[in-house]
Amino acid sequence: MTHTAIANVNIALIKYWGKKDIEWNLPLTSSISLTLDAFYTKTTVTYDPTLTADILLIDDEIITGGEYLRVTKYMDKLRKLYSIPFYAKITSYNFVPKKAGLASSSSAFAALAYAATKAYGLNLDSKELSSLARLGSGSASRSIYGGLVLWHEGHDHMSSYAEHLTHMDDLAVIVCLIDETPKKVNSTDAMNRLNEYPDLKELWILSTQDALNDMKEAIIENDFDKMGSIAESHASLMHYIIQETGVSYLTDQSFKVMDLTEKIRNEGIPVYYTMDAGANVKILTKKEYVETIKARYEKLSKVIVSYTGMGVSSL
Ligand code: DP6
């Protein structure tokens, strides 16, 4: 009745931004991500027949309010789907700056889906586990797997799941931690604004479909420069779209990191940036260049280097 799981964070190279079904958390488009080894969540779920509600502890703090509601509502869905009659004590530790645009919800709900089903003795296959993680947070569907991962948008609960594409061991991501405080508008609320802008939404869907096809091609061809430049322009488009819906995540410091990346690239080193719902900038590069360029980013911000991570597992 108890199980502990560890799941890594992933960053999207082709972004998920916007939902076509809020209740089932179905995305507007498919997306592609890279699982990182430096940031993860460790979660223990213990079912207890004497409990009358779930108990949630994150980083040794008892959680109430909105964050608790999100998790307990998720557990209600999971209990309903798998006929689990018990409430649970959920203890979670984040080895990632929470809510700072580093997608801690991806590792959090992947670890929770895995621990909560295993604790009840269920052995879901990765595909089903991915759909289940998606119900908690879309990006969590991709953290079930290591390496490069494709999340199929699908049209209902079971057809919207992620799958492992390939493992590229020579990739590295330099995460520039520009702002570690929680963001002002969370990604769920920000992306739902897109529904009020039909033209922008259309532009986003079509561009993302094109970028996704190009990215798949680049991955098959093992063409890092192509992957990097598609990821970079796609992330810039996402931030343009976000800005048009009245939210702004990037700061002057983010732009300085992006400018530095272009400068280093002009010197012949393959570096590309991508940003999620926050000010932090992630630099995609290859392992062999990390030592040469890291110090230049450290002049602008705190830096954490990450490599390709594995999928969710038991501890
Ligand atoms: C910018 O997965 O946090 O990181 O499904 O509402 O929980 P919810 O959204 P979430 O959104 C992630 C958005 C993103 C891009 C991405 O990871 O694809």
Mean pLDDT estimate for the chain: 96
pLDDT in tens, 38-67: 999 999 999 999 999 999 999 999 999 999
Q: Which atom of ligand 1 is nearest to the CA of 16?
A: 18
CA angle 269, 238, 251 (to 5 degrees): 70
- Continuous segment of H or E residues that includes residue 135: helix 126-136
What's the CATH number where 25 sits? Answer: 3.30.230.10
CA 133 from centroid of its chain's CA atoms: 11
Q: Is the pLDDT of residue 101 over 80?
A: no
Query: Which range marks the domain in which residue 59 is found?
Result: 1-315
**pLDDT recorded at residue 98:** 60
Residue 212 CB less than 6 A away from ligand 1 = no
DSSP-assigned letters across all residues of 15-48: ----EEETTTTEESS-EEEEEEEEEEEEEEEEEE
* Residue in this structure with the two tokens 């119900």, named with its chain if needed: 135
- 190 in contact with ligand 1, CB cutoff 6 A: no
Where in the chain does DSSP place strands (E)? 2-14, 19-21, 26-27, 31-48, 55-58, 61-62, 87-95, 148-151, 162-166, 171-177, 272-274, 281-286, 302-307, 313-314
* pLDDT tens-digit map of 236-271: 999 999 999 999 999 999 999 999 999 999 999 999
Ligand 1 contacts CB of residue 183 (under 6 A): no
CA angle (53 as vertex; 160, 132 as ends), nearest 5: 10
pLDDT at 153: 98
46 CB near ligand 1 (under 6 Å): no
| CB distance 12 to ligand 1 below 6 Å | yes
Q: Does ligand 1 have an atom closer than 6 angstroms to the CB of 153?
A: no
Q: How many domains does the chain have?
A: 1
Determine if ligand 1 sits within 6 Å of the CB of residue 138: yes
Read off the pLDDT of residues 209-218 as tens digits, 9 standing for 90 and up: 999 999 999 9
Q: Is the CB of 235 under 6 A from ligand 1?
A: no
Tokens at 54, concatenated: 């779930």
pLDDT tens profile 109-138: 999 999 999 999 999 999 999 999 999 999
CA of 147 to the centre of ligand 1 (A): 18
What percent of the chain lies above the pLDDT cut of 90? 95
Contact 208, 29 (CB under 8 A): yes
Distance 15 CA to ligand 1 centre (A): 8
CA of 171 to the centre of ligand 1 (A): 22
pLDDT value for 121: 98
Is the CB of 31 within 6 Å of ligand 1? Answer: yes
Does the pLDDT at position 32 exceed 90?
yes
pLDDT tens-digit readout, 175-185: 999 987 777 89
Of all protein residues, the one whose alpha carbon is nearest to atom 12 of ligand 1 is 139
How far is the centre of ligand 1, averaged over its atoms, from the C-alpha of 191 (Å)? Answer: 8
